[in-house]
Structures are given as structure tokens and as C-alpha cells.
Structure 1
């Protein structure tokens, strides 16, 4: 509890969490409004709306899952790398020799913050999309059925796991630029590149971590997976756990 309290004070005494929260809120609600407007246009001009999946709860929360979680990951990585950059990690490890506890406390605090924030924003995004969309466009936003609800409660689960992964990346690489580049390029660019390699790339995509996370939340990603949405969640969770365990091992073995 003492480690959690110390990490909470360190995190909340800086401005970055508050600025990050403001950016996540703006992106989440702003893109929800845009999705509502796009849904209206799709209803009015269906011939020009190819590729638009419809205004589902998952679509309304695109700003949260697509960009908000990305900001959370950057913040989580910086919480670790900034301590290495300024040398304060040595003092932290002197006060708490169990280094794994320190890393776990950082992941737990930021992960809980991210889960709570994204939960509120997911419901908020749905309401904002309803306000903008007309009566016909907002019909798919009804929270009925397991898939629709999974697109809501899956967001905080995804956010928490992404934060844990980002903390692990920050602990492994120690450098802010390298950590940010990895957590940004990995979901946005690296995994999408496999689609360029034909049938081989499509086979590999079924085993990519973020593709599995998206499969859990939205169900339909255009990729043929070897398991269902819950299997994808287990796969992504196992991937994050392996990465986090590797970070704990490395942090315990190397110099601060």
C-alpha cells in the first residue's frame, strides 16, 4: 500500500496525466460526434457510404479505443522512462528493493485510471453519437445483445491491458523516444503491414496481439481467427503477461 501511495503521489503531482485525460476526452467525444454525422450521411447517401460499418457502440467509441488508449499507452510508458531519464528510479528502488512491486504499482494505478476514464467515455461517446445522429442512424446504438455490450465493457479491459503492456515496454527499453515509437507504431503501422503479404500475411494477422484485441471488442475485423472473441481476449492477455513478466525479470537483473 505504501508503494501504491508513493506512486500515486508521483503520478498525480505532474501535469501529464491531466493533460492526457483532457486529450482523451476531447478525442473520444469529438470523434463520437463525427461518427454520428457520418452515420447521417450514410443514411442520406447509401451509395457513397461503402466501408462505413454503421453506427454501433464500438464505432461510436472509436475515438476512445483508437486514439484515447494510444494516449494512455504513451503516458504509461513515459511514467517509467521519465524516472530512468532523470535518475529518480534509483531512489525509488532504494526505498523499495522489490523492483517488481514498483513496476506493478505503476501499471495498476495507471491501468485503473485508464479503465475508469475509458468506461465513462465509452458511455459518453454513445450518448454524444445519439445526440448528433438522426433517429434512423442511431438505431444500431441500442445496447442489446452480447456483441453490443462487449463493445462497451471490452473498452476498459482493453485499456487496462494496453497500459500494462506500455509500462512493460517502458521498463524494457528505458528510453522515452524508443518506447513511444514502439507503442505508437506497433498497433497503427506494424500490424497493418502484414496485410500486404498476401495469404501469408493474413495467416499471421490471426496471431497478432492488437488484431486479437480488436476482434474481442468488435468481433468483425475481416481476419479469420482460429478462436472466438473471448479466445482473442485470452490470447492478448497472455501476450501482455509474457511481456510484463519479461520486464520484471530485466528490471531485477540490470542496474537502475
Structure 2
């Protein structure tokens, strides 16, 4: 008996799938036979490409200095990211396993010309000034490393390979409250420790540096990134300023264990740039020794580099393209209401949910298939143009680049489905187009063009469908790098997929309202 019942059920399911396939083909036929809709979708793709290339062509960068000199190469870290790798390094070679222990008794510094008056150099330590011990593959910028450090305002940390950061105990350092640091190498594993008295040690974390050579450089380091301040502009948005800083740390009880040659320490300023006025007339970056106590002064940073162009900078045309997509998607459904053809559609398929699903799938798929080649072509052609104009493009992994390309195409596709749903709800083209643009395009423009304060812009991109634009962010925000992480700088408050999920959530709600409207209202 059960087998006899199951066979008709399977037959009904297959018939239902065939009916839905026929419905999809019918909706696709409607779309491709209306020349205006096809032209509109092609125009959206062309706009993405042309505006993107135009933006890349007009974006120029150059390095200041006497004469026409090329910009220096930016170092790249072990994982392929652009990095800042500039610090004062007192070091020796270490062959095989071993480690270093040191006591830090002071961390001081200077900040040049901070606000509000910008008229003097003041004492101070920026929050991510770093002083401690490091084991590094070599003195080459971008080479692998692990370090244990005290910081200006974030306590003890263990960091490795630029992007990885592990917190130790909070608090500062002074002669009355020194910090003991230890870093041990065992093969490719480096383990960091800290202590308040040099007797009781606490492990901070470990780092696996695969492929680390037998002989590495080990020693003391100090660095101090620029002092960043963000000022609220009179007309909204913000203005950021970065000033030179220098940190100085005092080390003693330096204990190096392992196969290290005896003799004097080497002293290098890795990634050294031009000397500032402060260094010229006061203390330059370097090392001073007195009776086994070392005072190390340094500037710069060891961290991911955040200044540079991103691959999504070539996709500025997507915002205009999305407006054209919205218009086409709305017309795809409202034209049937305007001409009275929706009655014929619903007579052919009384299950209105299927009609809505078929229309949504068709417009979403058509948009995605039109947008993806446009996005890929724009990035492929736009990136070389940016480079030829002197811009540095921050490198990303192939997976991240694929997420940006596919994600932007998906962003346009979901926006098209949202517009279609609102077209069913309003049944009037102008109202649906204006509403869709108002909830997707307008919040993004307000948030990214310095019209609003940063906090308001971030909330706007959390709570509105414009959150979907987060899918195009290729370079993440790093908690251990001080930066102006604001929408106007290309940073979104939500993670890429979370932002797209917000847009999908709004679209799902709009589809629900559209289905309710279809079922309750006369066609």
C-alpha cells in the first residue's frame, strides 16, 4: 500500500519540477524578447567597466623628492600581504634552537607637533609603540618573525608574521614595574613568555614559522608608528593627520641562549628613511649601551600596511550600474501590471508563489551573468592602469579576490531581486525604483562621501540594505594597527558576508511582502 502511494507522489514532484522549469523558460523568454530590458542590462555592465576604467585612469600617485624618482618597492610579508617593516634592531645570528630573555624598565617617546596647536614636540608614547625581543628570518623587510613586546597602551603582546597578535597581561612598564620577556625557538615553533619578576613565567602564545632557516637573527627591537588623529570636518566627514613619533626603551639583563657567536651586537635601522628634525638635533634612531644596559630608539612599525589602493577601487562604476539594474528589474514586473498581462501570467500558473520565485530567479540570474564578466574585466584592466599611474595596489589572496568579484556580482543580483519584489508591492515603476535606490544607493553615498560623521555612517551601513557593499572590501581591519577605519576610507562596519546577509535579509522580507500582495490583491 505504501509503495503504491509513494509512486504517485514522486510522479507529482517530477511534474511540479517540469512545470516550474517551463515557468522559468517563459519568464526568461519574456525578458530576452523585450529589447529595452536587454539593452538596460547590457548598459549596466558597460557602465561598470567604463566608469571603473575612467576612475583608474584619473587616479595618479607619485613619490615626493628631488627629481623624477620611482617609488620604492613595498615589502610583502610571508602570507603575501603588503607590510610595514621598519624598526631599530640590535641583533646577533642564532643557529638552531635557542632563545633570548630581557628585562624592560622603561618605554618613553616623543610625538611631533600634535594638535591642537601643532607648535611643539611633546613627550608621549603612541598606543602601538613596541619594544621587546624578536627572532626574525633575516633583516630583509617582510621576512618571517615572531616577537614579544611591551606596547604604549596595549600591555604585553606576542605578534608574528605581521597579521597575528596575541595579548598578554595589560599595563605599562617602568623602573618600579618592569616587564621580563622571553622568546624561545624550538625548530619552527617559537614560544613567548612574560614575567613580573624574572622567576615566575607565564606563556603568552606560540607561533609556527614553517620554513624558518637554521640560522636566524635574534635581539632587541623598538618601533613607533605615526600618531594618528581624526578631526571632524565642518561639513561632515573627517580629516586624518599622521605625525612622526619616536619611542625609546631601556633594556637590561639581556640573556642570549643557544649557538650565537660572541662579540658585539650588530645594530641596524631596518627600513630606514630620511632623518627628521628631531633626530637631527636630538637622538637619532639607534642603540646606546652603558654597562650592560641598552637604550634603543626607533620609529616605524611592524604590521600590515594599510596605505595603498585596493582592487575594489576599480569598481566605482558598480554604484551607477546598480541603478540601471534596479530600473530594469522593476520594469520586468511592473510592465505586466501596466499592460494587464499579469492576469494572463497568473491564469497560466495559479500558484502565485511560483510566479514570484520564477521572476526573482530569472532577474537575479540575468543580473549576475551580466555583472560578473563586467566586474572581472574591470579589475583585470583597471589594476594595470592604476599601477601604470604610480599607484600601489595592496595585494590580496586569490580567494579574497574571487570573493570580491563574485560578491559584487551577487550584490547587484540581490539588489535586482529586491527591486523586483518592491515592484510587485508598489505596482508602480517610479515608486519602486525610487524606494529601492533610497534604501541601497543613497545610504552608501551618504556614508562614503564625507557627508556624515563616521559613527553615523557606520550605523547607516549596519542597518540598511547598503550594508551589502561590504562584500567588496578586500583588506580587513586589524585591531593591532591604528587606522582610520571608516566607510569613506573603504572600511565597512560589518564583515563582507555579514553585510551581504543584511541585504539578503531585506530582500527576503520584501519577497514576503510581495507574495502577500500577490495573494491578497486582485491582479
Q: Which residue of 1 aligns with 2:362?
A: 109
Q: Does 1:42 align with 2:42?
A: no
SS in 2 for 1:140: coil
Q: Which residue of 2 aligns with 1:158?
A: 411
Runs (4+) of structure 1 exceeding 6 A deviation are: 194-197
SS in 1 for 2:397: coil
CA contact 1:143–1:149 (8 Å) conserved in 2: no
1:214-249 per-position Cα deviation (integer Å, ceiling 9, x unaligned): 123226625773x52222222222221111111111
Shift of 1:154: 0.9
Q: Which has the higher helix share?
A: 1
Of residues 26, 32, 37, the one that matches 2:46 is 26
Q: Pick which of 204-213 and 238-247 moved more.
A: 204-213
CA contact 2:56–2:386 (8 Å) conserved in 1: yes
Q: Which residue of 1 aligns with 2:31?
A: 11
Q: Which residue of 2 aligns with 1:60?
A: 314
Shift of 1:180: 1.7
Q: Give the unaligned 5+ runs of structure 2.
A: 1-20, 65-238, 241-306, 475-485
Q: Which residue of 2 aligns with 1:251?
A: 518
For the residues of structure 1 that align with 2:46 and 2:308, how far apart are their CA atoms?
22
Q: Which residue of 2 aligns with 1:124?
A: 377
Compared CA separation, residues 147 and 103, structure 1 to 2 (3 A): same
SS in 2 for 1:255: coil
For the residues of structure 2 that align with 1:162 and 1:133, how far apart are their CA atoms?
29
Q: Give the unaligned 5+ runs of structure 1.
A: none
Q: Which residue of 1 aligns with 2:499?
A: 232
Compared CA separation, residues 251 and 57, structure 1 to 2 (3 A): same
For the residues of structure 2 that align with 1:197 and 1:57, how far apart are their CA atoms?
25
For the residues of structure 2 that align with 1:254 and 1:185, how far apart are their CA atoms?
25
For the residues of structure 1 that align with 2:458 and 2:385, how far apart are their CA atoms?
39
Shift of 1:186: 2.9
RMSD over aligned Cα atoms: 2.9
Compared CA separation, residues 8 and 35, structure 1 to 2 (3 A): same
Of residues 184, 187, 207, the one that matches 2:462 is 207
Q: Does 1:184 align with 2:204?
A: no
Q: Which residue of 1 aligns with 2:271?
A: none
CA contact 1:103–1:167 (8 Å) conserved in 2: no
Compared CA separation, residues 135 and 156, structure 1 to 2 (3 A): same
Shift of 1:30: 1.1
TM-score, reference length from structure 1: 0.83
Shift of 1:56: 2.5
For the residues of structure 2 that align with 1:238 and 1:215, how far apart are their CA atoms?
15
Q: Which residue of 1 aligns with 2:145?
A: none
Q: Which residue of 1 aligns with 2:487?
A: 221
Shift of 1:78: 0.7
For the residues of structure 1 that align with 2:432 and 2:409, how far apart are their CA atoms?
22
